[in-house]
Structure 1
């Protein structure tokens, strides 16, 4: 059973992240939804940069655009940019503590949201609200738990 899961662990974790990203939530909690796809892509990029890279981020961004109903390419560009930065600096970021990594993930999540806002502003003329940045805080706070869960799964399934 582990042999089959080993080959599909990354895809399954990204599928779960996509489902968590679109899962209905109460209106009071929805503005704080963490960027699950960014968290999972970020982990796999730091852990296995040769398997999860900008191309995987671009495809997941396209799927996210379709699932969320945004203009095609908005999430793709934002995720590709963030994952490119992570992949370019993965050796340095691996040496940071989990909380330092969380801070860096928070900065990258802020960049992700600002790129999405900028692209949507260019296309639909929306205006910036501070509420757009609440997911940055929750993404940063969820990083240590996401990191520990995915690391445990990677080690148990011997994903490499």
Structure 2
């Protein structure tokens, strides 16, 4: 098989690596949601290949890699991808900057769901610092969109 068949899986694996890559404590506070951004792009570009099931499996991998309770990231990623998959035709027509705002809203929903589930399990207090990745994900979206779209077009992924 050609490498283009594995491109989606490779980008998801790269996003998982970026999600767990060690960063200095000051920078880790602003770590973008790499996995959510990559899944969001592929869900909007190829909704027949990347859907809630892929998000659930990727979330399980994140739970294992991050050492969180099994199912927390799966549930939050699945919910975010469900919202995208249900509205992908409308979201495709938005400009990249409007999509960045949607990604920010999805990222905030994702983080609030993660907090809510972890709060139910461990009783952690809420801090607004949990939402800094929302801002960095919004800022990163246009560049990731253009990078992944270029890769998709060069590899003729359909």
Q: Secondary structure at the match of 2:80?
A: helix
| Structure-to-structure mapping, 1:4-153, within 5 angstroms | 4-153=2-151
Alpha-carbon distance between aligned partners in 1 of 2:65 and 2:2, rounded to the nearest angstrom? 27
Alpha-carbon distance between aligned partners in 1 of 2:62 and 2:147, rounded to the nearest angstrom? 23
In structure 2, runs of 5+ residues without a counterpart are none
Alpha-carbon distance between aligned partners in 2 of 1:5 and 1:38, rounded to the nearest angstrom? 23
Pairs aligned (count): 158
Q: Secondary structure at the match of 1:19?
A: helix
Q: CA deviation at 1:5?
A: 1.5
The normalised TM-score by structure 2 is 0.99
Alpha-carbon distance between aligned partners in 2 of 1:77 and 1:97, rounded to the nearest angstrom? 28
Q: Any idea what the Cα deviations from partners look like across 1:84-128, whole Å, max 9, x if unmatched?
A: 000000000000000000000000000000000000000000010
The normalised TM-score by structure 1 is 0.98
Alpha-carbon distance between aligned partners in 2 of 1:34 and 1:5, rounded to the nearest angstrom? 27
Q: CA deviation at 1:4?
A: 1.9
Alpha-carbon distance between aligned partners in 2 of 1:150 and 1:50, rounded to the nearest angstrom? 17
Alpha-carbon distance between aligned partners in 1 of 2:63 and 2:36, rounded to the nearest angstrom? 14
Calculate the aligned-residue CA RMSD, in Å: 0.6
Q: Secondary structure at the match of 2:26?
A: coil
Q: Secondary structure at the match of 1:32?
A: coil
Q: CA deviation at 1:145?
A: 0.5
